Amino acid sequence: MRENKGSCIAIGNFDGIHVGHNILIRKMIDLSTENNLDSIIITFEYVKNDLRKSSSNMKYINSPSRKLKILKSYKVSRVVEIQLNDVISKYTPEEFIKLLVYEYNAKNIVVGYNFRFGHKASGNISTLMNFQDKYGYKVEEIYPVKHQGIAISSTLVRNLLKEGKIREANKLLVNKYTLYHEELNFDYNKNMAFVDNKSSILVPSDGKYLVNIGSKELILTITSNEKGASLIFNNKLEENADIVFVDKLSKQTNF
């Protein structure tokens, strides 16, 4: 459905909403307000493993459903998830631009400095800018936000979490890293949960963590094997509460 009054669009994968994503989305919202445009966030769903940016074993910081909930919390006009199926994944960069212009009436397009699009990621910021006059939109490039000299990205956050560097990862995320209860298999009688290796959800490295669950502060021990990761808590769990990671505890910590 074409937007009647035109739209300002923020585009990205947005896995794990970090501070760079937040700046990009806030800039889009500001532009939409200034220019009286609808505000739209566009993200992507990889419907086939071979269409994903990485291997099929890549773990998400947020599940696709949770990502959409977080994006909708920005209170924009629309959040759109484009399925990268066999057809759209083969669009040339110009065909993808036409989709933005003719389907969503794009007048402003806000993207990160490293945004790639089109078949085999052949389009980039320069491509978007080259077609501005032809299709009547303006491009807003968001430059890298850096942490200790390194550009903040979902890959950086993902690697920090894999290494158990919770405190550092949380500094880069808009919200503290969380495992959501609906994505875990709980055994409340044993105060534990399990994440199967087939799950696409990222679990931090083995060790002991300080976490918040509902109103409680607990110690969580993560132990993984070839089947998955066991999450064992040091006290009774509140049911249907999410696991919010605060920090990894050192081996010298007394319990």
User: What would the pLDDT profile of 202-241 be if each residue is shown by its tens digit?
Assistant: 999 999 999 999 989 999 999 999 999 999 999 999 889 9
- Tell me if the pTM is above 0.85: yes
Q: Write the CB contacts of 245 (distance below 8 Å, at least 6 apart in sequence).
A: 166, 170, 176, 177, 178, 179, 204, 209, 210, 211
Q: Write the CB contacts of 126 (distance below 8 Å, at least 6 apart in sequence).
A: none
Domain regions of the chain by residue span: 7-147, 176-248
pLDDT higher than 70, residue 175: yes
pLDDT of residue 145: 93
Domains 7-147 and 176-248 share a fold: no
Helices within the chain (DSSP H only): 19-34, 64-72, 93-98, 104, 125-130, 132-135, 154-162, 166-172
pLDDT of residue 3: 53
| Mean pLDDT of the 72-77 span | 96
3-state secondary structure of 45: strand
238 against 118, higher pLDDT: 118
Mean of per-residue pLDDT scores for the chain: 92
pLDDT cut 90: percent of the chain above it: 82
Q: Are 211 and 136 in contact (CB under 8 A)?
A: no
| Mean pLDDT of the 155-180 span | 96
Q: Rounded to 5 degrees, what are φ and ψ at 96?
A: -65, -40
Distance CA 216, CA 219 (A): 10
| Mean pLDDT of the 68-94 span | 95
pLDDT cut 70: percent of the chain above it: 93
**Domain 176-248 of CATH type 2.40.10:** yes
Q: How far apart are the first and last CA of the chain?
A: 57
pLDDT higher than 70, residue 62: yes
Look-up of token digits 């199926």: 85
29-33, 50-54, 138-142, 237-241: which has the minimum mean pLDDT?
50-54
**Domain 7-147 of CATH type 3.40.50.300:** no
Distance CA 146, CA 172 (A): 10
CA-based nearest residue to 43, from 57, 24, 19 = 24
Confidence bin at 43 (pLDDT 50/70/90):
very high
Q: Rounded to 5 degrees, what are φ and ψ at 129?
A: -70, -35
Q: Write the CB contacts of 229 (distance below 8 Å, at least 6 apart in sequence).
A: 194, 195, 197, 203, 206, 222, 223
Distance CA 164, CA 249 (A): 10
pLDDT of residue 67: 94
pLDDT higher than 50, residue 55: no
pLDDT higher than 80, residue 52: no
